[in-house]
């Protein structure tokens, strides 16, 4: 496989106050237990797969079970989120930068969705991917998240759809405010080749209904993977993690080009 020379994804920062996306950290921002970070490749690989995106400001949301109120941290007054709300001062900046035909079309920071307690939050970014690649937007992996809300996941065909990179959250409490910090990841954005979730791919499975269906090669793989390492009291910890990282260091990446 050829070397990756061109970017797989390009992020466009529209709101200048927004923190730039950053590569997700394999230690989950230092929150993983040391033993997991050293020896569990499955956990660290998942934590580091993708890029973190952040809220463009410190935000607070308050849901009373019917209405949603919002404010930037530090504001004295709450504002009702009846429909949509712009990032402070952004609409004018957008109109100054955009072609005349697009003036007045700035994307909102927050949008109240029809479903109770559901809010769409814009990261202040737009993204474009290489051809046939999509972006999975989800909660950051393996990071203890702030309480009070749940995040919806979404797959965006960002090679075809050039628009705001947002996520939807569902408020889950009414007794306290929900705080979103500008320096804490709002979401994890992961690159996914479109073929990975195509119907023909997800239909290409086989099932073994019981242990009688395991072949001798399957049992041999189980023995070498599980039984032999655990039967050796002098085994080296983290052998799987070491082998996986060695394969990654010796591997090559995929060529993809953003048009």
Give tens-digit pLDDT for 181-190. Answer: 999 999 999 9
If one counts the domains in the chain, the total is 1
Mean pLDDT of 184-205: 97
Lowest mean pLDDT among 74-83, 149-158, 162-171, 232-241: 232-241
Average pLDDT across the chain, whole number = 91
Instruction: Specify the CATH number for the domain of residue 36.
Output: 2.70.40.10
For residue 4, pLDDT beyond 90: no
DSSP-derived pairing of the beta strands 133-138 and 22-23:
unpaired
Provide the domain limits for residue 138: 9-194
Mean pLDDT of 239-258: 58
Residue 242 lies in a domain: no
Residue 124 lies in a domain: yes
Mean pLDDT of 179-198: 97
Residue 248 has what pLDDT?
61
pTM of the shown model: 0.87
């Amino acid at each position: 496989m050829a070397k990756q020379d061109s970017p797989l994804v390009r992020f466009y920062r529209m709101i200048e106050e927004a923190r730039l996306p950053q590569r997700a950290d394999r230690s989950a921002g230092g929150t993983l237990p040391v033993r997991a970070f050293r020896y569990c490749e499955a956990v660290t690989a998942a934590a580091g797969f993708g890029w973190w995106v952040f809220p463009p400001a410190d935000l607070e949301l308050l849901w009373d079970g019917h209405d949603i109120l919002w404010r930037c941290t530090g504001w004295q007054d709450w504002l009702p989120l009846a429909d949509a709300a712009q990032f402070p001062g952004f609409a004018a900046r957008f109109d100054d930068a955009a072609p005349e035909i697009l003036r007045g079309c700035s994307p909102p920071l927050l949008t109240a969705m029809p479903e109770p307690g559901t809010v769409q939050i814009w990261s202040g970014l737009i993204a474009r991917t290489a051809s046939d690649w999509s972006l999975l937007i989800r909660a950051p992996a393996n990071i203890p998240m702030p309480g009070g809300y749940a995040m919806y996941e979404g797959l965006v065909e960002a090679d075809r759809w050039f628009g705001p990179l947002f996520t939807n959250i569902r408020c889950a409490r009414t007794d306290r405010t929900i705080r979103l910090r500008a320096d804490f990841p709002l979401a994890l954005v992961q690159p996914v080749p479109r073929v990975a979730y195509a119907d023909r791919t997800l239909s290409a499975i086989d099932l073994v209904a019981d242990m009688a269906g395991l072949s001798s090669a399957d049992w041999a793989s189980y023995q070498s993977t599980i039984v032999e390492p655990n039967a050796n009291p002098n085994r080296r910890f983290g052998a799987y993690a070491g082998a996986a990282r060695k394969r990654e260091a010796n591997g090559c990446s995929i060529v993809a080009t953003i048009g």
